[in-house]
Amino acid sequence: MTADLPLEELSTTFARIQGLLLSEETVSKAVDLLADAAKESIPGTLGAGVSLMDEQGRRTSWGATDEIVKQADALQYQLGEGPCITAWATTGTVRTNDVTTENRWSRWSPRAADLGLRSVLSAPLVFRTESVGAIKVYSDKPGAFDARSERLLTLFAGPAATLLANVQSSQAPRRLSQQLKDAIASRDNVAFARGILMEREGLGEDESMARLLEIARSNRVTLRTAAGSVVSGSGKHQG
**pLDDT tens figures, 145-171:** 999 999 889 888 887 887 777 663 434
Identify the residue with better confidence: 32 or 53. Answer: 32
This prediction's pTM: 0.65
Question: What is residue 182's predicted lDDT score, i.e. its pLDDT?
Answer: 47
| Chain mean pLDDT for the chain | 78
Averaged pLDDT for residues 36-51: 91
Q: In what order do the strands lie in the sheet with 94-96?
A: 59-64, 47-53, 130-139, 119-127, 94-96
Is residue 232 over pLDDT 80? no
Q: Which amino acid is at 10?
A: L
Residues 6+ apart with CB under 8 A from 6: 41, 152, 155
